[in-house]
A and B are shown apart, each in its own frame.
Chain A
Amino acid sequence: MTDQHPALSLRGLAKRFDTKVAVAGVDLAVPTGSFYGLLGPNGAGKTTTLSMAVGLLRPDAGEARVLGYDVWADPVRAKSLLGVMPDGVRLFDRLSGAELLAYHGLLRGMDPAVVDQRAAELLDVLALADAGRTLVVDYSAGMKKKIGLACALLHGPRLLVLDEPFEAVDPVSAALIRDILHRYVGGGGTVIFSSHVMEVVERLCSHVAILAEGRIKRVGTLAEVRGDRSLEDVFVEVVGGRTATGEELSWLSR
């Protein structure tokens, strides 16, 4: 039954914190097999939206479905299909990389032998094997991103939800991650990730949504959203940015 459903569908998701409306009704359908980029300025509500979509934050209204399974009504089925890399959340970082992967794998009910084999492969490919038994607390920021990605990939999910996967990652590793994600989508998986790096989104994505002030402002395939301009122009136009010129901050250049 899962095939006629979108990989992820959000309907009317909304969340307010005290007086601040962080997400004001987001509808989104992420088709199976797509590579979906969620763009938006700082504080747009990307993290909040994705957290609600994967079951980390209870929405005030609306529903989220993963391949047809409601994340909040049938969390077990939905979560087994999901791989998530949240942002601003600590890993169980008093474990070494290998221990962390083993932990995630077993939590997902995988066979220990398979966990061993995949963990070794992932550590190797992501160039984390050299870290050996260093605890994840002592990893660099980029290494933490990479081990987080490995944890999300380990159980072979159908849908990957990644919050800012390219933040703090060096160019070589970024290329590596792009490769991995491409192969994953090529093999029938679906990826949705948030980012503010336009080049990455333009290079990778088949679909884009631009979120600002808790609402979807533009959505569609990359070509539809971009038209004949660059994605950055569209983004700036939608978000209504300002550029600092003239007299303000003049003390910076004394």
Chain B
Amino acid sequence: MAVPVTVPERPARRVSAWHFVRLKLRVLGNNFRGQTWRVALFVLGVLFGLWFAAVGFFLLAVPGLAGESRYALMIAAFGGGLLTLGWLLLPLVFFGVDETLDPARFALLPLSRRTLVTGLLAAALVSVPALATAITAAGLVVTAGVLGGWAAALVGALGVVLGLLVCLAGARALTSAFAAMLRSRRVRDLAAVLLAVLAALLGPLQLLVLAAVRQTDWDRLDGVARVVGWTPFGAPWTAGVDVAEGRAGAAVVKLLIAVATLGVLLFWWSRSLESAMVGTASSGPARTPRGVAGGAVAQLFPRAVGWARRDRFGALVARECRYWWRDARRRANLITVAVVGVFVPVMVNLGGFSFSTEGGAAFGGADSSPALVSLSMIFVGALAAVTLANQFGFDGSSYAANLIAGVPGRVELRARMAAFSIYVVPMLLVIAVALAVVLGRPEWLGVMGGALFAAYGCGLAINALVSVLGAYSLPESSNPFALNSGAGFTKGLLTLVSMVGSAVVAVPFVVGAALLGDVWLWLALPVGLAYGGGAALLGAYMAGDTLDHRQPELLADVTPRR
């Protein structure tokens, strides 16, 4: 039966970017309805953002306010470049992206790709980090204005807007590209490697910066700044200063570079958007698991969990193990731990290395000491455990199954710790051994292992409690980096709390390393294992009790509101 449907030649009203902005504001507002603590967290986040923005603003405005044109270009190039780099890397490695407006939701609407991309970009502007960046970068406009008058300020402002858009588009493009890769069966391992390489780039970069600051060779730094100013990282930010210094031609070219970059990023983003919109249904690798023949129970247990008894605890561990691998979101978290866990201790302990070689000092940890090594290991242990801070959020409403079966809180938490440790403990061991080898100090292995496992155990304990009390829902999106609006700040806050908490509890190990001398080299490992293990068990015991009392509330917390 043919239904006569008239197709309007044109929609009555064009959809503009403004609609997306309004939609985002509306969704934000509705999210807050009746949730006082969310409003409070949001306000706190805004205050933090403003504070950072103010500091950044004054830093970037210093050359202008001091009337000191010598450093203007350098500050613009490095400051702006750092902002851009931060926008590109931090969402991937740590913060995730705000997905208040999930692109997949627009899949069925008759919107052109162009409308969608500009709209989503405009909506992305309405966020605390974007506003904070805008305020910070306004410092550059002030500098340009003071040094070069109105024309320079105007060009500076144009550059700053372009720079901000490049940041936003870059962050979106990169996360959606990685999301697509992590989803795809074929290239997801490649994506992991790429992510690792990207994050590992931070290490040498920091070394470079440190070395540069140490040298205080301003001429050479100035040269570097000039080069950075011509890359997409620095171009939009330095245009204003260029006008102020009388290089109007250079400024125009830089603005063009920024526009071209923005165009390329937007094109790239729209491509990956499309693939995300088509494949909305499954948010993980739709891999048909291969392997063991046999009964259902034998299929559930991966080989790494073969030792577990076939009971409730074993089932929980096996399921968690499967999930750490099969869930793209969890896998992305594991990768982050591996990457950050490798490069931070290397940086901290070899940081002195690049200086000491200049002076011809001996190779190998000239600046490092058992206490410093312990400290960096405590960081790694705490960081690894922090992955569990929202462990129930990963499950979302499927946690209901455990509630229906009446799983006791203590068993639940112990099993989750065990499953996560199956992945993380070998990783931590490799990190410790690798660091000992690189430092050329195999005798420190015990100290490192002790601090590492003490911090990891304490972290497990604290995060068990955090995960029960501070759980928040994650969007059911195909993007493993996606966060609900406002959740970014919650995540940051909880991460900070639990990392500081874990580190504080593990501090005796730094003290021991600093004071006890050689005895500690032997004692640290057994003491650390006992300390960490005991802390984890105690944590599971206490947090398990809390969990028993608030299971339905936890389920409500982690169930995404649709």
Taking beta carbons and an 8 Å cutoff, which residues of A are in contact with B? Answer: 18, 54-58, 75-76, 79-80, 82, 84, 86, 88-96, 98-99, 101-109, 112, 115-117, 119-120, 132-135, 137-138, 151, 254
Partner of B289, one of A54, A101, A108, A133: A133
A93 nearest CB neighbor, chain B only: B398
B29 close to A (CB within 8 Å)? no
CB of B556 within 8 A of CB of A89, answer no
Chain A residues with CB under 8 A of B300: 95, 98-99, 102-103, 106
Indicate if the CB atoms of A58 and B553 lie closer than 8 Å.
yes
Q: Is the interface of B mostly helix, strand, loop or mixed?
A: helix
Given A80-B406, A137-B284, verify A18-B290 contact (CB < 8 Å): no
CA–CA, A76 to B311, complex, Å?
17
A–B Cβ pairs within 8 angstroms, 9 of them: A75-B406, A98-B300, A99-B299, A102-B295, A102-B299, A103-B319, A106-B314, A109-B311, A116-B298
Q: Known interface pairs A106-B315, A107-B315. Does A135 touch B296 (Cβ–Cβ under 8 Å)? A: no
B287 CB within 8 Å of chain A:
yes
Interface string of B260-290 (1 = CB under 8 A from A): 0000000000000000000001111011111
Contacts of A104 in B (CB 8 A): 401, 405
Given known A58-B553, A94-B322, A96-B289, contact A79–B405 (CB-CB < 8 A)? yes
Known: A76-B406, A103-B315. A56 touches B289 (CB 8 A): no
Please measure, in the bound complex, the distance between the C-alpha atom of A112 and the C-alpha atom of B406, giving whole angstroms.
19
Question: Which of B's residues lie within 8 Å of A, judged by CB?
Answer: 4-6, 33-34, 281-284, 286-290, 295-300, 310-312, 314-316, 318-319, 322-323, 326-327, 395-398, 400-407, 552-553, 555-556, 559
Q: How far is the CA of A101 from the CA of B395 in the complex (A)?
A: 17
A88–B396 alpha-carbon span in the complex (Å): 12
B296 near A90: Cβ-Cβ < 8 Å: no
A110–B396 alpha-carbon span in the complex (Å): 26
Given contacts A104-B405, A105-B297, 20 further A-B contacts (CB under 8 A): A56-B400, A56-B403, A79-B404, A88-B397, A89-B397, A90-B400, A91-B398, A98-B299, A99-B319, A102-B295, A106-B310, A106-B311, A115-B297, A132-B288, A135-B284, A135-B286, A137-B282, A137-B283, A137-B284, A254-B6
Q: Which residue of B lies closest to A123 (CB)?
A: B296
User: Given A57-B552, A89-B400, A94-B326, A120–B295 Cβ distance below 8 Å?
Assistant: yes
Task: Tell me if B555 and A56 are in contact (CB < 8 A).
Answer: yes
With A and B bound together, what is the CA distance between A106 and B297 in angstroms? 8
Say whether, besides A94-B327, A135-B287, A137-B282, A86 and B400 are in contact (CB < 8 Å). yes
Q: How far is the CA of A96 from the CA of B281 in the complex (A)?
A: 17
